[in-house]
Amino acid sequence: MESYRLGRGLRQGDTVAIVAPAAPLAAETVTGAEQVLRDLGYVSVLGRTVEESWGYLAGSDELRARDLEWAFADPAVQAILCLRGGYGTTRFLDLLDYDRIRANPKLFIGFSDITALHTVFRQRCAMATIHGPMALSLGREPTAYTLGQFAAGLQEPVPAGPLQLPPGRQLEPLVPGTASGTLCGGNMMLLSVTTGTPYALDGTDGLLLLEEIGEDAYALDRMLRQFEQSGLIARAAGILFGTFHDCMPTESRDGEFTVREVAAYYAERWGKPALWGVPAGHEKDNAWLPFGVPARMEVGVSEAVLTIEKVKEQRHE
């Protein structure tokens, strides 16, 4: 199993850079996220993109690429928090200086459109990253679970042990079995649009997380079939279905397949260990998941467990 470098855990007074690699966001939400960081004992600094807007993007492709590189290269910054998803990261993947990023591994946190960056940082920079809450959700009254995951993760980036779940929530078995591998994946649309490009997820021996927002069951079916036909599923060790916020239908009507039925169909078709219900994605409860870190999934007939393996923290002062 390959090893990926992970930025160190934060100490009180450390600086977190907020950058916008994708879409822009209203100023009041940014202020709320900054307050959360202050309350946790950290200093925040805003990248140039946070106050930029170019149509549906937070500045030009060149600006967003350079802003991201600045956050990695600046020795005063210890962690990087993405503002939000939306759209835009795939536009500048060919503009990034990966050598510069590789030389400065730091905690890098985000999800949704940020999936493309998780993939390239892992595959081109040998860097582990964090699939987790962004400034958008932190600045809009995060749940106790999300805030707790974020606060604990900043201090201990690899939360070794069984994944903590929101109260009353359980992981649901789809296909029994046990698999070990590095966590990877993310938003299905981003994994789909990068398929066939130099920035596609390889996913070999990975525990593949899949999450989505606002897509109909047939559209999810299309992407899952694409992942199968492209070889991604064959390379993966196991499948983790996350949240599918506003994906319809959730209940059967007029003979239509529900979102869960589509997931279950493909999980059974693939025959790899698979579970449903990881609190990762666009719902209010959003876990801290270290991508590129070893994990183990144990799926029984009636229960399932996802365990993050303990790894030695690599400090980069």
Instruction: Return the domain boundaries, the chain.
Output: 15-155, 161-308
Architecture per CATH, domain 161-308, reads as 3-Layer(bba) Sandwich (3.50)
Q: What is the pTM of this model?
A: 0.96
* Burial degree of 238 (CB within 10 A; 0-12, 13-18, 19+): buried
Instruction: Give CATH superfamily name and number for 15-155.
Output: Murein tetrapeptidase LD-carboxypeptidase, N-terminal domain (3.40.50.10740)
Cα distance between residue 121 and residue 290, in whole Å: 13
In order along its 317 residues, the chain shows pLDDT tens digits of: 566 899 999 999 999 999 999 999 988 899 999 999 999 999 999 999 999 999 999 999 999 999 999 999 999 999 999 999 999 999 999 999 999 999 999 999 999 999 999 999 999 999 999 999 999 999 999 999 999 999 999 999 999 999 999 999 999 999 999 999 999 999 999 999 999 999 999 999 999 999 999 999 999 999 999 999 999 999 999 999 999 999 999 998 888 999 999 999 999 999 999 999 999 999 999 999 999 999 999 999 999 999 999 886 554 44
> Are the C-beta atoms of 190 and 90 separated by less than 8 Å?
yes
**Which sequence positions are flagged as catalytic?**
112, 211, 282
* Strands 304-308, 161-162: pairing kind: antiparallel
What is the phi/psi pair of residue 125, to 5°? -120, 0
Polymer length of the chain: 317
